Amino acid sequence: MSKLKSKILVVDDNAGIRSALKLLLPMRFAEVELIASPKELMDTMRRFKPDAVLLDMNFEADINTGNEGLFWLSELKRDFPEVEVVLFTAYADIALAVEGMKRGAFDFVVKPWDNAKLLSILEEACKKHQVGTHRMRPPYTSAAPLMQWGESEAMKQLRREMERIAPTDVTVLITGENGTGKDVLASEIHRLSMRSRKPMVSVDMGAITETLFESEMFGHVRGAFTDAHADHIGKFEQADGTTLFLDEIGNIPLSQQAKLLRVIQNRSITKVGDMKSVPVDIRLICATNMDLATMVAERRFREDLYYRINTMPLHLPPLRERKDEIVSLSELFVKQYAEKYHRQAKGLSTEAKRLLKRCRWSGNIRELQGCIEKAVIYSETELIRAEDIQIRASELMEEKPVKSAESLEKAEEEVIRAALKKHNGNLSLVAKALGISRPTLYKRLKEYGI
């Protein structure tokens, strides 16, 4: 094979690794530079102008968190977004490397490495840089995901209701467990509304402290308080002419609920430190995973506010009530993440489908999506296998109630065997992956004769 006209920068504090790569990489790349410390990284990037960077995840002695690699990855993607970064990691840090890919890394290589695979990944990274095709989104942007409706009767009915109310300005309250996609449903309502020309304004109500509530929601004028050095536009004013989505509205402190109610009723705000009332034209959508009716009965949520936001209720059922949709959703996520992370996965094996359907999915679609994302990144075959899927044994349930004990034990044994195979018999890693203690794992191994 001829050399690629590409430049590789290696950042690793291990002298032995640098020596080995100094011999290997020039066989395939035109120029290779190796540095021991990331402190030299940014200056070297400006001078050397590499096509790809092979970046170690750990540098400080006795500190092996991998967070240094993530920090320097972020610095690289901020100042040199066009340069591809391949993470160099130990087996124990694979989860952090996966997080790195979510933040914009091209791929990762596990130490000790396979020469052919390392060269292949770096070649692909260089080609991607040179042709300028960036299929992955930048790490700090997020387009609204599309709603996945599925085929259950409950979801069909929900879709019919949503399509009827979306074009109106009626206030909507979306309820459902964590991970069911309440924010995605809100985005879909906005997309089909008459206000879709402007982006929806979303607010996580649980993230706003009580002391900053009025300033964040209604805005403030310069000099309103000590640190108010300039006027600040609140969320209600930002949403003028579009949709305001208040997520986790059950988290609003009782002391602030009357203020919110007044603004919702009057459709006007008064900024902190100002006397002037400013009208706002908004469409309001709220969401919660809490039982607001019970909170009203317990006087933890104002009854008048509850009725004001509950004009049109929509409920998202949990994934355990939509079991027939698990495989179809999983296959959709496989396609999505295979494209995003340039992996060859195209579908799920029969064993993988069975395993996915046996899970409770307490975290609902969000948990399923994260599980498939990791499986796609880990997998090296066209079909995702059962051993590529990380599911805690405690999350498994029997496929048919009539076979409860036998089915559950068989499923648990399969998961344990798959985890043992994946982690090469390392019991500490197996226990961690399954979400159980080592003594519990020992007990299970003895019970199943493993």
* DSSP run (H or E) holding 270: strand 268-270
CATH class given for the domain over 398-450: mainly alpha
- CA distance readout (Å), 419 to 144, 375, 381, 387, 428: 34, 13, 17, 6, 11
Q: Indicate the helix (H) or strand (E) that contains 376.
A: helix 364-378
Cα 121 → chain centroid: 24
CATH of domain 153-315: 3.40.50.300
| Mean confidence (pLDDT) of the chain | 87
Buried b (16+ CB within 10 A) or exposed e, 392-404: ebebbbbbeeeee
Question: pLDDT, tens digit, for every residue of 308-347?
Answer: 999 999 999 999 888 888 999 999 999 999 998 889 999 9
Domain locations along the chain: 4-131, 153-315, 323-391, 398-450
Q: Return the pLDDT at 153.
A: 84
CA distance 125 to 128: 5
Flag whether the pTM goes above 0.75.
no
Measured in whole angstroms, the distance separating CA 187 from the mean position of its chain's CA atoms is 17
Which CATH number among 3.10.20.30, 3.30.465.10, 3.40.50.2300, 2.160.10.10 corresponds to the domain 4-131? 3.40.50.2300
Most confident of 95-104, 141-150, 154-163, 434-443: 154-163
Give the CA angle between residues 180, 374, 361 to the nearest 5°: 35
Per-residue pLDDT of 251-271, as tens digits, reads 999 999 999 999 999 999 999
153-315 and 398-450 agree in CATH topology: no
CA–CA gap between residue 5 and residue 51 (Å, rounded): 10
- CB distance 6 to 29 below 8 Å: yes
- For the cut 70, the answer to whether the pLDDT of residue 441 exceeds it is yes
pLDDT of residue 63: 46
CATH of domain 323-391: 1.10.8.60
